[in-house]
Amino acid sequence: MEYESIITEAEEMIVSYHFIIELLHSSEPLNEVVKVSNEFVLKELEGMKKEVEITLSDAKKRQKKDWEAQEAKHKLYYNVVCPHCGTKAQLKPEQEVKQPDYLMYFLFQCRKCKKDFMPDKPNNDGDLMVWYKNLIEDIENPYKVIIRNGQIKEYKDSEVKNFKRLQADLVKKVNHSNHLHMEVQDATVALMNMIQDANKWCVIVIKELKDGTNIYGLIPKKFSFDFGNVIETEQVLIGLIETVKKRIQNPAEMPLKDGTSAETMEEEIQKIQELLQERMGNREKFLLREEEIMKLNWNEDIACQCMKCKTEFTSKPCGEGSNEEGFLFFMFECPECKDRFADQIPNNPVDHKNFHQHILETKFGTEELAQKNYEIMGTTPERVLEGREQLKVLQQKANDFNKFKEEVTESIAIHDRWLAEKIEFLKH
C-alpha cells in the first residue's frame, strides 16, 4: 500500500489549517457578527484537523508495519534443499526475483557449493495460488509432459487431489485479504479526495488572506500600509543605541571611535532616542486611525436580502471576499439558511468607484450595449445617467482615500530614511 502521498497531503493540510486556526485565535474580530461566525468556522476547522491528524498517525503506523513485514520476510530462515548439491539447509533469502511466469520467488545461495537457486514455489500466497492452478492445469492436460529435476514426473491421483485442496484454500485466503485490501483502498481514496479538496481550499484562502482580503473580519496585525520593514529597522536602531550607551559607560573595554567625546555622544543619543519615540508614536497613530476607520465600516448595519432563501434582514458583515476582478465586498450570513453571500457594492471607496466605473463601461459603454442591458440589469437610461453623475462623487471619495494612503506611505518613507541615516551615524 502506498502511504507516502497520503502522509504528504495530510501534513500539508495540517500546516495550512494550523495557520488559519492560529490566525483566528490570535486576532480580534471587528464586530459581534464576525465573532459568532468565526467561532463556528473554528470549530469546523479544529474538528477536521483533529480527524486528519488521526489519519496521519494511522497511515504512519501502517507504513511502518508494511516496512517491518517486508523486512521480516527477508530476515526469516527457510528450510531449503540445494538443487545443485543436494544439501539441506536453513537459509535467509538473498533477494526476491520475478520469473517469466510473472510470479515472485526467493533467491537463495547454497552455503556449500555457493551456487544460487530458487525454490519451486513462489514466496507469497497470491502467487502460490496461481502456481497451483497452473500446475493442476498442466497435470490435467494430456498433451503436456511435466519435467521435474530433469525427469518426467507422474502425479498420483491423491497428490492431485491434495493440490486441488491446497489451491482452493489459497483462493479463499487470498480473496479474503484482497477484499480487506480493497475496502481499505476505497476508504483511503475517499479520504485522499477530501484532504486534497481541503488543501485546494487552503491555498485559495491563505493567498487571499496574504493579499489582504479580510475573509474573517479580523483586526489585522499588519495593516494595508506595510509597516513590517520599518518596525524591523526601528528595532535595529534601538539595539544600536543600547550598544553605544554601553560604550559610553565603559570606554576602557569599548572605546568610541574617532576620539568622539562621551558627552557629545551622550547628547546625540539622547536626541535620537527622543525623536525615535516621537516617530514611533506617529506611526502608531496611523495604525490606530486605520483601525478606527475599519471598525466604523465593519460596524455599520446593512439591510440585506438573502440570495438563496430571500429572507430580508439587517446585519453587520461577517467577513470580506473578492470577486474575479479583484474588487473587495463585504460578506453577509443569512440568519435563516446560514448561506454566505457578497454585498452588491464594494466595501472601500477606491473599489467602489472602480466597480461603478467598470459596470458603466462594460454594460452601458456603447448605445448598443446599453440597449441590451437596461432590461437585464433592471435599470433605465435615467438611472444610468444618474449613475454617471454619482461617479464624480465616488471619484472624489476615492481621491481623498488615496491621498490619505499617499500621505501615510510618504511619511513611512521619510521615517525609513531617517532611521537609515541614524543607524549609519551610530555605526561609526
Give residues in contact with Zn ion (CB under 5 A). Answer: 82, 84-85, 87, 110, 112-113, 306, 308-309, 311, 334, 336-337, 339
67 vs 78 by CB, closer to Zn ion: 78
DSSP 284-317: HHHHHHHHHHHHHHHT--EEEE-TTT--EEEE--
84 vs 289 by CB, closer to Zn ion: 84
- Cell numbers of 228, please? 513590517
CB 302, min distance to Zn ion, A: 15
Residue 269 exposed, middle or buried by CB count within 10 Å (0-12, 13-18, 19+): middle
Q: SS3 letters for 339-357?
A: CEEEEEEECCHHHHHHHHH
CB 334, min distance to Zn ion, A: 3
CB 21, min distance to Zn ion, A: 27
107 vs 206 by CB, closer to Zn ion: 107
289 vs 308 by CB, closer to Zn ion: 308
CA separation, residue 223 to residues 115, 367, 395, 406, 414 (Å)? 75, 42, 23, 14, 19
Q: Are 87 and 38 in contact (CB under 8 A)?
A: no
190 vs 337 by CB, closer to Zn ion: 337
| Count of beta carbons in the 10 Å neighbourhood of residue 280 | 15
Which residue(s) pair with 415 in the sheet? none
17 vs 108 by CB, closer to Zn ion: 108
CB 330, min distance to Zn ion, A: 16
CB 82, min distance to Zn ion, A: 3
Which residue(s) pair with 303 in the sheet? 314
Q: Which amino acid is at 90?
A: Q
- Main-chain phi, psi angles of 89, to 5 degrees: -160, 165
Q: Are 289 and 411 in contact (CB under 8 A)?
A: no
CA 392, 396, 402: angle at the middle one, nearest 5?
140
The beta-carbon contacts of 133-140 under 8 Å, at least 24 apart in sequence, are: 133/167, 134/101, 135/163, 136/160, 136/163, 136/164, 136/167, 139/163
DSSP state of 151: E
87 vs 315 by CB, closer to Zn ion: 87
276 vs 334 by CB, closer to Zn ion: 334
CB 114, min distance to Zn ion, A: 7
CB 80, min distance to Zn ion, A: 10
Half-sphere exposure of 329 (CA within 13 A, CB side): 17
53 vs 343 by CB, closer to Zn ion: 343
CB 123, min distance to Zn ion, A: 19
CB 84, min distance to Zn ion, A: 4
The span from the CA of 66 to the CA of 4, in Å, is: 12
